[in-house]
Structure 1
C-alpha cells in the first residue's frame, strides 16, 4: 500500500489541480475522444458511400485525449486498404482479395515481417513478380517492397517513417497519414494477453479478451539500418494500444501528459527522435501493469511520475525498451547515440532528484508558473505580469477548437461526396443519393455507437440534397413539387441553417413568398443569426479564422448534434439544382475560366455563405412584398454580416450578391466598388467580371 508523504501529497494535489485547469480532466478527455472517434466514423461512412476501398482510423494523442493545447499534438490518420488481406497462414486466404502472407526469417527484426504474394485464385505463393513493386529473394519468395508509397507522395507532403506528413502550416499541427493493410488475426510475435496476470490487475480480463480480436496492421517501413530494410513491414498493434489507453484513469493520463511535457521541454531528449511520445506511452503501460493499482491516486501523482521516469532511466541506460505487446521489439534499438545518452540520463536523474521542483521550469501551457503561482517574468528594466487563461477559458478554447475542427471536417466530407455528383444527369444524381440513403440506413442499424452518430449527421444533408434536386426538376417542368420532395426537404431542414436556407430557396424560386417568409421566420426563431459560427472548407487554405467566443461557450456543454444548430455551413447548389437558385446567385455557375490550372472542386456549383444568404433572401422577399423598411433593414444586415464575419468562406460571392442588391436600388457606383472588392479578394474564377460588364451596359443604356 502506497502512503505518500505530506510533501508528495501537497505537490501531487497541486499538479493535479494545474493539469485539471489546462484540460487534463475526465470531462475534456471524454470530449476529445468522442469528437475524434465520431470524426473517424464520419470518414468511414463517407468512404463507404463513395465506394472507396479503405477504412480510416484516428490514432495518437488527439484521439486518446492525452494532450493539451500547448503540446500541439499531431493529427495521426491510418488509411487501411481493404482490397488487401494480410494472412499469417494460408488457411486465412480469401477469394476476391489481394492476399499477402506474413513471413519471417532469421534476419527479420522482431516486430517486423515480410509480405509474400499469393495467387489471386488459389491459396498458394506465386513464383514470379507481378510488377516492379515486388522482389524475388534468394529463397525464390516473391516479396512486396515497402517503398511503393514514396513514389506517389502528393505535393506538399514529406516522408516521415511510414507516414506522409504535411508540415509547416501556421497555426496547425502536422498532419500524418499512414497507409496500412489489415490482418484480422493476432500477430504471432505479440503476447498472449490472456495468459498473464499482473500486479496492477491491468489489463482486465474483459479488456484482454477484446484485445485479442483486434488483429493488427502492417505499415510500409523497415527497421532502420538492417538488412533488406526495403522489404520489411512493421507490425502495428494500434487498435489494441488505443483500446488500452481508453481504459486508463485520469491520474495515469496526467502522468503520461507530464512525461510528454518533460520530453518536449528538453531539446537534447527530443532531438533526433532519441525518445518519443510512443516510448513514454510504452513506459507508462509497463508501469501500470507492474505496479499495484492503488499507486495511481491524485495525491500520489508525483510518485507515479517518478516511477515512470525511473523505468525510462533504466530503459535509456540499458538502451532497451520492450514494446508493450511485442516484447522482443526493442523500441530503443539504434535510437540513442553515444554522445547524447549521458545528457539524457543526467536530465532524468535531475528530474528524479528535484522532488517535483524541475517541473517548475516547464513553459508548456505555463505549467511552471501555474505550479508556483508566480505569473511574472523579469526583463531588463521591468517586470512583466503574464496573463494566463483561466480553467474556464481553457475549457472553452479546447471545446471550441475541437468542435470547430469537427464541423470543418463534416463540411469537407459532404463536399467531397457532392463533387462526384457535379456532372451527372439529374436522374443519375437522384439514383446515387437514393442508394446512399439506403446504405446509411444499413449502417445505422448495424454500426458502432460512433457510426450511428455519423449516419445521423450525414443523412439530413443527403435528404436535403435529394429533395432540392427533385424540386428543381419539378420547377423546370412548371409542375407542383411532389410530396416526397417536400418530405425530404422538411427532414433535411432539421439539420442546420444551411439546409433550412436551401428549403427556403426552393419556395422562393417556385414563387411561393408566404411559405418562403414562413421558413425565414422559422430560422429567426430557431437560430441566433449573429452568434452563429460560419464554417467553410471550400478553399484549400486551412488557416481560415477561428471559433467565436459564443461558439466556444456552446461547445463546452453541448454535444455535436446540438452544436450543429450553432454552425453556419456554406450553402451549396449543384448544377442539377439550378432551378432552386435565385437569379442573382446563378451567375456563380458561370465564372470566367481565368486560371484553368487552379480550379477548386466547387467551381461548377453556386456556393454562398449562410448568414449573408439569409439576409439576401430576406431582402428579396421584403422587396417583392413592398415592405421598404424591412427591405432596408435586411440590406443593412447583409452589408454588416459581410464586413464583420472573419470566417466567411465565399466573401467574394457575398459581395456579388450585395452589389446586385445595390444595383437594384440604383446605387451603381457603390455596386462597382463592391464588385471591385470582390475581384480583389478572388482575381480568378469570379462572376463579378461579367456582372461589372452588365452594370456598365445598364449605366450606358440609362444615360442614353
Structure 2
C-alpha cells in the first residue's frame, strides 16, 4: 500500500481551513484547550509539592500522561512516578563520585537504544532507601559472572507490587498487576469523584524512578540541537534544562537481559513540552487519541498508544511554521499527523522525540495483517477527515448538523450559526475569559482541595510550613497558592472547632472560639459562598445563631452584587448561577463576558467536608458522615439549608421552598441524591413527612442500581416508624 494513496481527500485545503474553527472552538469548551492544560499544570505541581511535604522532603511523586496534561478522555488512566531518596544514576563515573548516597553507573553497551543496565558504583549501608521495609537495596541486586552487581528492574517492580497490595483503600486492598515498568493498581471510584462514574474503574500506574545526576548523552544532544527549530521555544528549552531525567524499572522485551535493564525516562521534559502546547496542538493530540480508541484499537488492540500519538504531534510540531497555529489549521494539522502516522506504521518506525536512536514501533505490528488493518483505518479516515473528527467531539452534536448539511461546507457553517450556541461562532472570544476562570478555579477547588480535606492536623501544619518556607519553589502564581493556603487554614480551623466542642473548660473556650471564628473569617474569601458557609457551620455548632444569621445575610448581599456566579463543582450539571430575588437560578452554559464585565463575575465552589467533621456539622450532614469518608455539597443547596436552620417558622417555609427549587436544578448528577437528602431532612424536621418521604425516595432511586451507600434508606425507615407511631397514637385516642 503506497502512502501517496492515503493522501487523497474529498476536501480541499481551503475547505478544511473553513471548517476547522468550528471544530477548534467546540473542543475548547468540551475537550482541550491551553487554559485547561495550564490549570491542570498548576494543580499537578501543587499536589506534587504537598506530597513531598507530607513525606518529609524525601519521596517525590510525579504525575504523567493525560492526568498531568489535561488531555484525558474517558478511557484514560492515571500515571505516577515515585522517586525515592538517596539512589542516583550517572552516565560517567566522575559524575557520581561527588554524590552522597547509593550511585549506579549506566552500562548501555549491549542494550537497545533507550535502555541501560545499572552497575553499582558505590553504596553506604548507613544511608536509608525506600527498600528498607522488609528488604534492603542489596536484596534488589544481582551479581554477574564478572563480579559486577546490577540493580534488577524485575525485583524492584516486584517490590512495588507487594507494597501496593498491602495498601488499604476505602474499598479494600487494590487489585495489582504489572504493566510495563509499572505496578498497576485497580480500584473503583465509589462516589464518582474521579471517573465521574459510580463504581468506575480507576487504573493507576506506579512506576519507580531513579534520578540521573545529569542528563544522559542523548538528552544533552537534543537540548543542543534545539536552536534550529521554532518549537519548542527557547524559553521552554531553558525550562527543560532545569528539569531532571530518570530511569524506570523496565527492560527491552526482546533483550536476553530484560530483567536487569532500565528504561531512560524524560517524563518531566515531555510533560513540559505538552504544557507548552497551544490550543491547536492540544486539540489535535486529543483528536488523535479519540480516533485511536474509536477506530484503530478495535482492529489492532495494544499496537498503538496515546504515547505514540503524542510523539507524532511532537514531530509534526517541530516541522510546523510559527504562522500555522491559527484555528483554521486544526484539521490540516490533524491530517498531516495522520499522514506521518501512516508512514510510521508502513515502515514500522517512529523515532522517540528526544532519544532519537530509539524506535517506538519496534516489536509492534509484526503481523502484516495487523499492519494493513491499521493502514486501512487511516486510509478511510483521511479522505473523510471532517466526518471522523466531528464524531469525536464530546458535548456538542456537530455530527447531526453535518449530516443535515449533506456534507456541504457552506451549509454546515450556516446551520452552526443558526442552531448552535453562539460561543462556538461569533461570541467565542468573549466566552474564552469566563471559561479560563472556570478551569483556574476548579484546578484547586476540586483538584487540590478534594485531596487536602482528608489531611489530619499535623499534615495540614506541615503543608502550611512548607508553603511558607518554599513559596518560590512552586511554579504556580501567588493567587493560586494563596487560595490553597486559605483552604488549608480553613481545614485546620474545622479540626480545632471539633476539639473546642469537646472541651470541658467552657470559660477558657469562649475566648478561643472567638479567635477561631476571626481566623476562619480571615480565610473565608475562597469564593463568594462556600468559604463563608464554613464560618456559618461553626457558628451554629457553637450555638451562635444570631451571628450565623448575620453571616448568611452578608453572603446573600455578596450574591446579589454578582450578576453571574461561575459554578466549579460536581454537584450540578449547570455551570452558572444567577441571583433572582431571594433565590438562585441555575443555567447550563457560562455566558460570554467581555474583559470590561469580568468584575461582575464571581465564583462558587462546592463545600467539602470530611467524615471527621461530624461533631461540627448540622444534623442533615451528620447522617451523610455515616456513609462517606468525604463528600461535596452544592453551595446554593447548603446556603439555603443553613438559612432554614436560622429562620423562624414562616420564613423557614419560604426558604424550604427556595431550597426545593435549587435542589431540582441540581438534579441529574452523581451527587444530586445528597441534595434531596438535605431537603428531605428539612421537611422531616418541620413535620411534613410526605414531602420528606418523596425526597428520600427520589434520592434512593438515584443510587439503588449502583449499590452506592445512601443514608436515604435509613431515613425512609425513620419516617415510616414515625408514621406508624403517629397512627398508633391516634388509634389509642
SS in 2 for 1:234: strand
CA–CA distance in structure 2, aligned partners of residues 401 and 674 of structure 1: 36
Aligned-pair CA distance for 1:473: 4.9
1:646 corresponds to 2:678: no
Work out whether residues 179 and 219 of structure 1, in 8 Å CA contact, stay in contact via their aligned partners in 2. Answer: yes
Indicate how the Cα distance of structure 1 residues 95 and 257 shifts in structure 2: closer, same or farther if over 3 A, else same.
same
Is the alpha carbon distance of 1:616 and 1:190 closer, same or farther for their aligned partners in structure 2, counting shifts above 3 Å?
Answer: closer
* C-alpha separation in 2, matches of 1:558 and 1:38: 25
Cα deviations by residue, 1:58-110 (Å, 9 ceiling, x for unpaired): 4445655668xxx6572543233243533215666699987352532443221
For 2:15, the equivalent position in structure 1 comes to 11
- Counterpart of 2:369 (choices 332, 339, 342) is 339
Match of 2:113 in 1: 110
Once residues 136 and 563 of structure 1 are traced to their aligned partners in structure 2, the CA distance between those partners, rounded to angstroms, is 65
| Higher mean C-alpha deviation, range 327-336 or range 246-255 | 246-255
1:504 to 536, 544, 550: 536
Please provide the CA RMSD for this pair. 5.3
- Specify whether residues 521 and 370 from structure 1 end up closer, same or farther in structure 2 by C-alpha distance, changes over 3 A only: closer
User: Is the deviation greater in 283-292 or in 503-512?
Assistant: 283-292
Match of 1:286 in 2: 315
Work out the CA distance in 1 between the residues paired with 2:479 and 2:326. Answer: 34
Contact 2:433 2:594 in 1 (8 A): no
Tell me, what secondary structure is at the counterpart of 1:340? Answer: helix
What is the aligned partner in structure 2 of residue 458 from structure 1?
484
Structure 1 residues 236-267: Cα deviation after superposition (integer angstroms, max 9, x where no partner): 11222233344455555566566556645643
Unaligned runs of 5+ in 2: 1-10, 166-172, 189-194, 407-414, 577-585, 704-708
Q: Secondary structure at the match of 1:327?
A: coil
- How many angstroms apart in 1 are the aligned matches of 2:482 and 2:587? 22
Partner SS for 2:525: coil
Give the structure 2 partner of residue 101 of structure 1.
104
Determine if contact 1:256/1:281 at 8 Å carries over to the other structure.
Answer: yes
- Segment drifting more, 552-561 vs 250-259: 552-561
Written as runs of structure 1 = structure 2, the 5 A alignment for 1:287-436 is 287-289=316-318, 308-337=337-366, 338-345=368-375, 354=383, 357=384, 359-362=386-389, 364-365=391-392, 374-376=402-404, 390=421, 392=423, 407=442, 410-411=445-446, 413-414=448-449, 416-421=451-456, 429=457, 433-436=460-463
**Gap change, CA 1:247 and 1:678, over 3 Å in 2:** closer
394-403 vs 199-208, which moves further: 394-403
TM-aligned CA distance change 1:196 to 1:87, over 3 Å: same
How far does residue 485 in structure 1 lie from its aligned partner after superposition?
Answer: 1.5
Match of 2:555 in 1: 523
Q: Distance in 1 between matches of 2:670 and 2:484?
A: 21
Structure 2 distance, partners of 1:663, 1:263, is 52
CA offset digits 1:123-174 (Å, max 9, x no partner): 9999x97565443344441423343234436635665433437599786897
User: What TM-score results when the alignment is normalised by the length of structure 1?
Assistant: 0.74
Structure-2 change in CA distance of 1:492 and 1:555 (3 Å): farther
Residue from 217, 233, 238 that aligns with 1:188: 217
Q: 1:617 aligns with which of 617, 642, 648?
A: 642
For 1:541, the equivalent position in structure 2 comes to: none
Contact 1:554/1:563, CA 8 A, preserved across alignment: no
- Residue 183 of structure 1: how far off its partner (Å): 2.7
**Does 2:142 correspond to 1:135?**
yes
**Secondary structure in structure 2 of the residue aligned to 1:135:** strand
Give the counterpart of 1:144 among 149, 152, 157: 152
Closer/same/farther in 2, CA of residues 60 and 24 from structure 1, 3 Å limit: farther
- For 1:642 and 1:588, the matched residues in 2 are separated by 16
Cα displacement (A) at 1:490: 0.6
| Partner of residue 161 from structure 1, selected from 180, 184, 191 | 180
> 1:20 maps to what in 2?
24
Q: Is the 8 A contact 1:460 1:495 kept in 2?
A: yes
1:573-592 equivalent positions in 2, closer than 5 A: 574=612, 578=615, 580-582=616-618, 591=626
Are 2:510 and 1:478 aligned? no
- Is the deviation greater in 155-164 or in 391-400? 391-400
Provide the secondary structure at the position in 1 that maps to 2:219: coil
Residues 298 and 21 of structure 1, relative CA distance in 2, 3 Å threshold:
closer
Matched, 1:553 2:589: yes
Within the candidate set 277, 300, 317, 1:271 is matched to 300
Q: Which moved more, 1:222-231 or 1:248-257?
A: 248-257
1:213 pairs with 232, 242, 245, which one?
Answer: 242
CA displacement, residues 649-669 of structure 1 (integer Å, 9 cap, x when unaligned): 777776666566555544467
Structure-2 separation of matches of 1:564 and 1:95: 53
Question: Structure 2 length normalisation: TM-score?
Answer: 0.71
* Residue of structure 1 in register with 2:207 after alignment: 179
Distance 1:467 1:234, change over 3 A: same
How far 1:34 sits from its partner (Å)? Answer: 1.7
2-side partners of 1:44 and 1:108: how far apart? Answer: 33
Equivalent position SS for 2:350: coil
**1:597-631 alpha-carbon deviations (Å, 9 max, x no partner):** xx7535xxx986654443333223223xxxx3212
Measured against aligned partners, the alpha-carbon deviations of 1:503-531 in whole angstroms (never above 9, x if no partner) come to 11333343433321111112222237997
Partner secondary structure for residue 27 of structure 2: coil
SS of 1:80 mapped into structure 2? strand
Residues 159 and 244 of structure 1: CA distance in aligned 2, closer, same or farther (over 3 Å): same
Q: In 2, distance between residues paired with 1:501 and 1:651? A: 19
Please name the residue that 1:567 is paired with.
Answer: 605
TM superposition shift of 1:21: 3.0
CA distance in 2, matches of 1:555, 1:85: 52
1:419-463 Cα shifts (integer Å, max 9, x gaps): 453xxxxxxx4x65444323322343442125x454323222232
Give a deviation string over 1:363-386, Cα, whole Å, max 9, x none: 5336999699742399xxxxxx99
CA distance in 1, matches of 2:710, 2:269: 50
398-407 or 13-22: which moved more?
A: 398-407
Cα distance change of structure 1 residues 282 and 499 upon mapping to structure 2, 3 Å threshold? closer
The total of aligned residue pairs comes to 653
Q: Is the 8 A contact 2:533 2:639 kept in 1?
A: yes
Residue 491 (str. 1) matches residue 522 (str. 2): yes
Query: Which secondary structure does the structure 2 equivalent of 1:101 belong to?
Result: strand
Secondary structure, counterpart of 1:485 in structure 2? helix
Rounded Cα–Cα distance in structure 2 between residues aligned with 1:417 and 1:290: 43
Q: Distance in 2 between matches of 1:36 and 1:344?
A: 33
* CA distance 1:206–1:183, change in 2 (3 Å): same
In structure 2, the CA distance between the partners of 1:397 and 1:689, relative to structure 1 (3 Å rule), is farther
What's the CA shift for 1:501?
2.0
Q: Which runs of 5+ in 1 are unaligned?
A: 1-6, 379-384, 422-428, 537-543, 592-598
